[in-house]
Amino acid sequence: MPHCDAKKQGCGGCPLLMTPYPEQLAQKQQRINRLMAPFGKPRPILGMEDPWHYRNKAIATFTRRGGQLAAGIYQEGTHRVVPARECLLVSRQLNQALEAAVWAAEKCGYQPYQEDRGRGLVRHIQARHAFATGQVLVSLVTAGPFLPGGRKFARLLRQKAPFVESVVQNINPGHTSAVLGRQEKLLYGSGRIRDELCGKSFLLSSRSFYQINPAQTRQLYELARQAADCKEGETVIDAYCGAGTIGLIAGQGAGKLLGVELNRDAVADAIRNARYNKAQNARFYCADASDWMAEMAARGEKADLVFMDPPRQGSSPKFLNSLLALAPERVVYISCGPESLARDLGILTRGGYRVREIWPVDMFPHTEHIETVVLLSRETNPLTVEVRMEVETGEVKEHPTYKRIQEYVQEKYGFKVHTAYIAEVKRMVGLDMHKAPNAVEQRKHEYHPCPPEKVEAIKDALRHFGLIAE
């Protein structure tokens, strides 16, 4: 079994490291069989052939050890940094990139940030590795915006790790356990790397959401694609869509692909990914998935197929009841929390769906997590199923992206822009407008076209949010 020096000191990253891999798989199989017993018999769990160095993202926190700059991992449940030079979960290139980054930071004389005193400069390093192209993106997270010798840092780092394609400085001044802040400065390259997955290309920035085990993600998405069996012309929803990967891969051929996601950076990535992969049928919405589904249901819309991939705590009764009202023929539930999955399947099966397949996938070897793909299909005529809807009444809320655009323009240019102007500019630049829930078919007032300075400001905002190219 490979050796891990952090294990002795207990970084806590791999609680099952001492359990042989076949035994880990057997334990996970038992757990999923037990939880899924009311719904059907799961298929054998899909394990990894080589369950080491599978992660495409690594994060290390700066500290000082023996007078020298070092970086390591927080010990589980604490803010004590345990040095981990050769993590067994992250790819070898990432270990190399982290080591090179620490060396370059030491050469540049950077001081580690001390959380308790609020002093020092460098907080963390994050490195992402696009396995398919070999490109690596390194983000140096600093407490303040000023980074003396930032370009030198990038140059030194690339001397030791020439495969690093891009280097960014991420500024995180907050007293927070979140690793990344919102603001970034480019130190080298484009700030993005490109990966390929199931025949599609995806651009990743430091803040993009992306599955962390590429080999198993391929298996997971192939299963989702097979389960979905998406047919031409169908309306497909990708709920909790992140950067849009599942819908774009497994919903290929759909007539209409509608993605919904709460994180606006992920939505911007999804829009960019759809354009990059020439998926003209795709629309992505930044909203709470439960509210969005309830609004769809309240408008009496229909869908043929719904992918749902909620966070570990699962979905909500509001989402599930709206799903029952939308009555898609098939639902593909992708879950990283088997307990919440069992709870949600209970609601869907009571609402007239039947579980057809359960495929567990080992996305996170040496940890206790289990990923599962479940295919459900509608058993009863939706009209005969009693559905308890909890749709809020009152005015439908405005699409949050508009609000963000208005805030951005107000902050940068100091003037307000009407949503009608935003809609006009979106149309002007070829961003197809979805049927907004609050769209007015007939104008109440005479309409004046958007003034040129506002057109420019809105275009700038659209560029900022990644809705149009730079």
Q: Of 4 and 266, which CB lies nearer to ligand SAH in the complex structure?
A: 266
What lies within 8 Å, CB to CB, of 23 at 6+ separation is none
Q: Of 221 and 421, which CB lies nearer to ligand SAH in the complex structure?
A: 221
Q: Of 289 and 341, which CB lies nearer to ligand SAH in the complex structure?
A: 289
- Least Å distance between CB 217 and ligand SAH? 7
Which run of H or of E encompasses 349? Answer: helix 338-350
Applying CB under 6 A, does 241 fall inside the site for ligand SAH?
Answer: yes
Applying CB under 6 A, does 311 fall inside the site for ligand SAH?
Answer: yes
Q: How far apart are CA 135 and CA 158, in angstroms?
A: 12
- Least Å distance between CB 244 and ligand SAH? 8
Q: Of 165 and 261, which CB lies nearer to ligand SAH in the complex structure?
A: 261
**Residues paired with 193 in a beta bridge:** 204
Applying CB under 6 A, does 245 fall inside the site for ligand SAH?
Answer: yes
- Helix, strand, coil shares of the chain as percentages rounded to 5? 35, 25, 45
| Among 170, 211, 281, 321, contact with ligand SAH (rule: CB under 6 A) | 211
Which run of H or of E encompasses 157? Answer: helix 150-160
CA 134 vs CA 85, 128, 193, 207, 365: distances in Å:
21, 10, 9, 19, 22
Q: Kindly state the DSSP code that residue 171 receives in the 8-state scheme.
A: E
Secondary structure of residue 151 in the 3-state scheme: helix
Q: How far apart are CA 168 and CA 186, in angstroms?
A: 5
Applying CB under 6 A, does 265 fall inside the site for ligand SAH?
Answer: no
Which run of H or of E encompasses 447? Answer: none
Applying CB under 6 A, does 276 fall inside the site for ligand SAH?
Answer: no
Segment near ligand SAH (CB under 6 A); pick from 3-11, 123-131, 258-266, 414-422: 258-266
Residue of 436, 441, 432, 431 lying closest to 419 (CA atoms): 436
The site that binds ligand SAH (CB under 6 A) totals a number of residues, namely 17
Applying CB under 6 A, does 371 fall inside the site for ligand SAH?
Answer: no
Determine phi and psi for 133, rounding to 5 degrees. Answer: -110, -10
Applying CB under 6 A, does 450 fall inside the site for ligand SAH?
Answer: no
Applying CB under 6 A, does 209 fall inside the site for ligand SAH?
Answer: yes
| Among 96, 114, 201, 263, contact with ligand SAH (rule: CB under 6 A) | 263
Q: Of 209 and 276, which CB lies nearer to ligand SAH in the complex structure?
A: 209
Q: How far apart are CA 351 and CA 378, in angstroms?
A: 9
Q: Of 22 and 199, which CB lies nearer to ligand SAH in the complex structure?
A: 199
Beta-strand runs (E) in 198-316: 200-204, 235-239, 256-261, 282-286, 305-308
The structure tokens listed for 420 are 């009608």
Q: Which residue of the chain is nearest ligand SAH when measured via CB?
A: 242
| Among 13, 150, 242, 351, contact with ligand SAH (rule: CB under 6 A) | 242
Applying CB under 6 A, does 424 fall inside the site for ligand SAH?
Answer: no
| Among 125, 246, 324, 450, contact with ligand SAH (rule: CB under 6 A) | 246
Q: Which residues are catalytic?
A: 336
Secondary structure of residue 183 in the 3-state scheme: strand
Binding site for ligand SAH (CB under 6 A): 209, 211, 240-242, 245-246, 260-263, 266, 288-289, 309-311
